[in-house]
């Protein structure tokens, strides 16, 4: 696929767009340093700004000037000096070897070391691995400054740009490449109305908490790979971040669950429980019930299962409590209601093993008697996304704050639907006119092609599939599926069966394929239970190789 040409200063335009937006709408949240640095930068000649932005987009704070050559920046030396005079960079900073070691390749170091060490030593160094060489460099120079063959340029305190990215995107995982990918046509976003009156981050405290959170998060991987003490310490610093925004709480909660889980793996159950107790979100209570049961605290475990059943915080938790409660009660000869277990209908198919995977194999096999599509979550998700397109992207307070959102900020909030009553539509009604609705959805499919929507996987949908699905699936079934998705749009977006089969003589069936050794996942089973309750035809297809 060909991509459109971008202007030579594309990145600078993107940068200005981002920065100037934040200056215009969030200036009151900036501190003096941030404000000062941007205004200094923006007042410089374009060439100098562009050099600075090129550095911002690259990894690290230290660069070799000879490796910062760009066709669109003519004056290498001058723009660097302008930046230094403005206090935004340092030229040839006074740094120990370990700071600059990574700027040069192994051969380059060996070359500069040639007149500093003996030829024998040089030969020994050549045999070292890169990491070992870096360590050895420290010994060789032992505090002395290396004499480097190129000018080094150091970005001074580039952290202000994190603040800007956070205010612009509402997170720190998106950055300037979003602009590029959009402009290249690789990402497309809906043209929703942006709400400039409601801000995601409302005050400096919330902003600071999030910045601190992200700074902490850089350590997470290392901490998770380490000892329980480190994990607990890390969780403690998470806790001290503050108690402010929902945004922060959700992130911290996620991390806390992951930390607790790792404590379990490290065989520190008591510590894990302590962390789980600080979590509201599933599966915190599930993990506690398991740990208590394993520790022999049967009564407490069952009590917690009872709590979960009385006020489940997710469907998964509810099913777990019913099941696990029954199992542990029975093991200990205690009373507990037996959960009704749903066993979906199944069939066995013998297939020749081919290179495309079981699902495709079954689909090809069934194509002889009708039409079979490998859709997984994409059929119901896709139709859902197209049908509710205008509702999902309807303007609502605080829902959209920048042009790079694939969903409204509050899509997973419990009041999402109630805030969009005007856009509500009833599938029970609309899907009774399948021809008309197919026209609408196919037109939207064309018009919105490729635009990011959490429910729509464009590459899997086609007008023919939309057409067949609307013809064959009755309105009541659509309504039943959609209402379950609305109940928990994040959790219930997945778990739908692999295949949809349209037999030649009418009707349809949803089929979950299971190869040898595979089995239904929990969310897949819950969907099937829902299908059963609403007379939606479904089946598990077990495959045996012959």
Partner DNA sequence: ACCAATCACGCATAT
Partner DNA sequence: GCGCCTCCTG
Partner DNA sequence: ATATGCGTGATTCAGGAGGCG
Choose between 317 and 498: whose C-beta lies nearer to Mn ion.
Answer: 498
Residues 6+ positions from 437 with CB-CB distance below 8 Å: 387, 430, 431, 470
Min separation Cβ 437 and DNA, Å: 26
Question: Of these partners, DNA, Mn ion, none, which one is at the site of residue 204 (CB under 5 to 8 Å by kind)?
Answer: none
By a kind-dependent CB cut-off of 5 to 8 A, residue 377 interacts, out of Mn ion, DNA, none, with DNA
Which of DNA, Mn ion, none is residue 190 near (CB under 5 to 8 Å by kind)? none
Provide the edge-to-edge strand list for the sheet that holds 370-374.
Answer: 346-351, 538-545, 509-514, 499-503, 370-374
Of 119-127, 330-338, 389-397, 508-516, the window that binds Mn ion (rule: CB under 5 A) is 508-516
Cβ contacts of 529-534, under 8 Å, gap ≥ 24:
529/342, 530/480, 530/481, 530/484, 532/342, 532/344, 533/480, 534/476, 534/477, 534/480
Select from Mn ion, DNA, none the partner in contact with residue 378, using the beta carbon and a kind-dependent cut-off of 5 to 8 Å.
none
CB closer to DNA, 138 vs 250: 250
Confirm or reject binding of residue 386 to Mn ion (CB under 5 A).
no
Choices 135-143, 305-313, 392-400, 506-514 (CB under 5 A): range interacting with Mn ion: 506-514
d(CA 478, CA 143): 71
Residue 490 Cβ, how far from DNA at the closest point, in Å? 6
Peptide bond into 116 cis (omega under 30): no
What is the biggest distance separating any 2 CA atoms in the chain, rounded to whole angstroms? 87
Task: For Mn ion, give the closer residue by CB, 498 or 509.
Answer: 498
Give me the least distance between CB of 270 and DNA, in Å please: 16
CB of 388 to DNA, least distance (A): 17
Pick between residue 408 and residue 515 the one whose CB is nearest to DNA.
Answer: 515
Please, which residue, 85 or 181, has the CB nearer to DNA? 181
Instruction: Tell whether residue 498 is a contact of Mn ion (CB under 5 A).
Output: yes
Task: With contacts defined by CB under 5 A, name the span among 82-90, 412-420, 468-476, 495-503 that binds Mn ion.
Answer: 495-503
- 91: phi then psi, degrees, rounded to nearest 5: -100, 135
Q: How far apart are CA 99 and CA 106, in angstroms?
A: 15
SS (H, E, C) 69-94: CCCCCCCHHHHHHHHHHCCCEEECCC
Residue 93 CA to residue 356 CA, distance in Å, equals 57
Would you give the distance in Å from CA 191 to the centre of its chain? Answer: 22
| Per-position x/- string for 246-285, each x denoting binding to Mn ion as judged by CB under 5 A, each - no binding | ----------------------------------------
Give the number of residues in contact with Mn ion, rule: CB under 5 A: 2
Spell out a b/e string for 384-421, using b for 16 or more CB atoms within 10 Å of the CB, else e. bbbbbbebbbbebeebbbbbbbebbbbeeeeebeebbe
Residue 181, binding choice from DNA, Mn ion, none, Cβ under 5 to 8 Å by partner class: DNA
Q: How far is the CB of 327 from DNA (least distance, A)?
A: 7
Question: Does 362 engage in binding with Mn ion (CB under 5 A)?
Answer: no
| Residue 509 contacts residue 537 (beta carbons within 8 Å) | yes
Return the one option of DNA, Mn ion, none that residue 10 interacts with (CB less than 5 to 8 A, by type).
Answer: DNA
Neighbours of 317 (CB within 10 A): 21
Residue closer to DNA by CB (options 26, 165) is 165
**Which stretches does DSSP call E strand in 239-333?**
none
We find the least distance from the C-beta atom of residue 134 to DNA, in angstroms, to be 9
C-beta closer to DNA: residue 177 or 432: 177
The residue among 209 and 498 lying less far from DNA, judged by its C-beta, is 498
Least distance (Å) from Mn ion to the CB of residue 411? 24
Phi–psi pair at 374, nearest 5 degrees = -90, 100
Residue ranges that bind DNA, judged by CB under 7 A: 3, 5-6, 10-11, 54, 57-60, 70, 105-107, 129-131, 171, 173-174, 177, 180-181, 184, 186, 247, 250-251, 254, 261, 264-265, 290, 323-324, 331, 357-359, 376-377, 404-406, 452, 454, 490-491, 493-496, 498, 512-513, 515, 517-519, 521, 523-524
In angstroms, what is the minimal distance from the CB of 259 to DNA? 12
Measured CA to CA in angstroms, residue 142 lies from 118, 138, 139, 267, 356 at distances of 17, 5, 5, 42, 59
Task: Considering the complex, state which of residue 323 and residue 532 has its C-beta at the smaller distance from DNA.
Answer: 323
Rounded Cα gap, residues 350 and 237, in angstroms: 56
Beta carbon nearer to DNA, 29 or 513: 513
- Considering only 113, 513, 541, 543, the residue that binds Mn ion (CB under 5 A) is 513
Q: Per the structure block, which two tokens stand in for 299?
A: 């009564």
State the DSSP code for 66. G
Q: How many CA atoms lie within 13 A of 116 on its CB side?
A: 16
Q: List the single partner that 64 binds among Mn ion, DNA, none, CB under 5 to 8 Å by kind.
A: none
335 interface partner picked from DNA, Mn ion, none, CB below 5 to 8 A per type: none
H or E element: which one contains 222? Answer: helix 220-224
DSSP 132-181: HHHHHHHHHHTTPPP--SS-EEEE--TTHHHHHHHHHHSSSS--THHHHH
In the complex, least distance from residue 157 CB atom to Mn ion, rounded to whole angstroms: 49
Stretch that binds Mn ion, among 57-65, 253-261, 299-307, 493-501 (CB under 5 A): 493-501
496 scored as a contact of Mn ion (CB under 5 A): no
Partner interacting with residue 433 (select from DNA, Mn ion, none; CB below 5-8 Å by kind): none
Closest CB 481 distance from Mn ion, rounded Å: 17
143 binds, among DNA, Mn ion, none (CB under 5 to 8 A by kind): none
Measured on CA atoms in the order 184, 201, 490, 218, is the torsion positive or negative?
positive
CA dist 519 and 343 (Å) reads 12
Chain positions contacting Mn ion, by CB under 5 A: 498, 513
């Amino acid at each position: 696929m060909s991509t459109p040409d971008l202007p030579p200063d594309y990145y600078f335009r993107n940068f200005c767009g981002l920065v100037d937006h934040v200056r215009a709408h969030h200036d009151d949240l900036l501190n003096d340093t941030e404000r000062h640095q941007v205004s200094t930068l923006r007042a410089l000649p374009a060439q100098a700004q562009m050099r600075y932005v090129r550095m911002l987009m690259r990894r690290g704070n230290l660069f070799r000037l000879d490796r910062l050559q760009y066709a669109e920046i003519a004056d290498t030396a001058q723009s660097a000096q302008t930046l230094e005079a403005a206090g935004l960079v340092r030229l040839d900073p006074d740094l120990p070897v370990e700071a600059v070691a990574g700027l040069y390749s192994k051969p380059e170091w060996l070359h500069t070391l040639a007149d500093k060490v003996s030829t024998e030593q040089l030969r020994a160094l050549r045999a070292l691995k890169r990491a070992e060489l870096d360590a050895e460099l420290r010994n060789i120079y032992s505090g002395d400054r290396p004499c480097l063959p190129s000018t080094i340029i150091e970005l001074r305190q580039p952290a202000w740009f994190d603040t800007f990215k956070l205010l612009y995107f509402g997170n720190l995982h998106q950055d300037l490449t979003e602009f590029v990918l959009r402009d290249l046509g690789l990402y497309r976003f809906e043209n929703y109305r942006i709400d400039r009156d409601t801000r995601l981050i409302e005050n400096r405290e919330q902003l600071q908490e999030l910045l601190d959170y992200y700074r902490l998060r850089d350590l997470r991987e290392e901490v998770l790979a380490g000892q329980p003490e480190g994990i607990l310490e890390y969780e403690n610093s998470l806790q001290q971040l503050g108690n402010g925004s929902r945004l922060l709480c959700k992130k911290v909660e996620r991390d806390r669950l992951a930390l607790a889980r790792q404590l379990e793996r490290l065989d520190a159950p008591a510590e894990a429980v302590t962390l789980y107790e600080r979590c509201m979100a599933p599966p915190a209570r599930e993990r506690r019930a398991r740990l208590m049961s394993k520790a022999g605290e049967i009564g407490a475990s069952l009590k917690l299962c009872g709590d979960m059943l009385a006020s489940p915080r997710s469907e998964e938790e509810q099913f777990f409590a019913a099941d696990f409660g029954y199992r542990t009660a029975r093991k200990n000869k205690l009373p507990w209601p037996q959960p009704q277990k749903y066993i979906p209908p199944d069939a066995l198919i013998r297939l020749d093993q081919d290179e495309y995977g079981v699902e495709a194999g079954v689909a090809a096999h069934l194509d002889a008697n009708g039409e079979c599509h490998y859709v997984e979550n994409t059929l119901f998700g896709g139709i859902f996304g197209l049908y509710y397109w205008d509702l999902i992207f309807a303007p609502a307070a605080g829902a959209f704050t920048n042009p790079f959102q694939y969903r409204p900020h509050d899509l997973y909030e419990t009041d999402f639907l109630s805030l969009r009553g005007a856009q509500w539509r009833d599938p029970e009604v609309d899907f009774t006119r399948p021809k008309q609705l197919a026209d609408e959805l196919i037109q939207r499919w064309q018009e919105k092609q490729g635009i990011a929507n959490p429910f729509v996987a464009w590459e899997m949908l086609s007008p023919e599939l939309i057409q067949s699905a609307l013809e064959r699936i009755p309105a009541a079934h659509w309504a039943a599926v959609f209402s379950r998705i609305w109940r928990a749009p994040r959790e219930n977006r997945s778990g739908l069966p692999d295949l949809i089969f349209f037999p030649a003589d009418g009707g349809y069936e949803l089929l979950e394929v299971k190869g040898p050794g595979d089995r239904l996942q929990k969310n897949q089973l819950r969907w099937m239970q829902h299908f059963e309750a609403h007379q939606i035809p479904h089946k598990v297809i077990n495959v045996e190789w012959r």
